[in-house]
A = this chain, B = another copy of it.
């Protein structure tokens, strides 16, 4: 797999990265729900690349825990167990405490503005779908991690945050994540003030309450058509020839 530079799947114009990002986003927005099948050729066709590339992308996502790969079987969107979800949140708490510890009192004006703008966007998205709210909330944390400019930390926080996000789509009841916005604002304020202990505590309880609100009970899911689902995710750089979508495959 391949060809994303060391840290996250970043370098534009490598096709593996494009597919990874598209699928990642589709997964965390719950367009692709846990258990949905991801056949290599359908993916390849959808993105206008060969199976080889689709395969690389799936491998990458499997390494991140978003996709499950079993030998000789069709890849599926991962279905983390309740325990794994809990573990992921525990790890996330520690990592994000590290993030805010490094950031406390060190944010530039521009960074603060960026964070505020993001939270404003979260606010505006309240009217929209649940999935978008969840994605934005997750991205707030990733934005924060990015400001540490520690590539390793960024990668781990992103990964575990995406995993948690996936989890939410499995176990949380609808509309349970809205109140988090105020907590985000409080974290920004504490970061600006520079009180390390305070902000670490805030982050800890924020994530803890998200986890507790979320991890309640599983719910069954309906199947949908893969190619159709992916439609809004295929652009990303406008590679022009995102080809036909030929046969329609009922997945799952």
Q: Is A152 an interface residue (CB 8 A)?
A: yes
The tally of residues in A whose CB lies under 8 Å from a CB in B reads 42
B62, A4: Cβ atoms under 8 Å? yes
Q: Is A29 an interface residue (CB 8 A)?
A: no
Q: Is A90 an interface residue (CB 8 A)?
A: yes
The DSSP consensus for interface residues of chain A is helix
Q: Is A150 an interface residue (CB 8 A)?
A: yes
Which among B6, B11, B59 is the interface contact of A56 at CB below 8 angstroms?
B59
Q: Give the segment of A64-72, A121-129, A185-193 that binds chain B.
A: A64-72
Which among B3, B64, B70, B91 is the interface contact of A5 at CB below 8 angstroms?
B70
Chain A residues within 8 Å of B, Cβ to Cβ:
1-7, 11, 14, 52, 55-56, 58-60, 62-65, 68-71, 78, 83-84, 87-88, 90-91, 94-95, 97-98, 150-153, 155-156, 160, 163
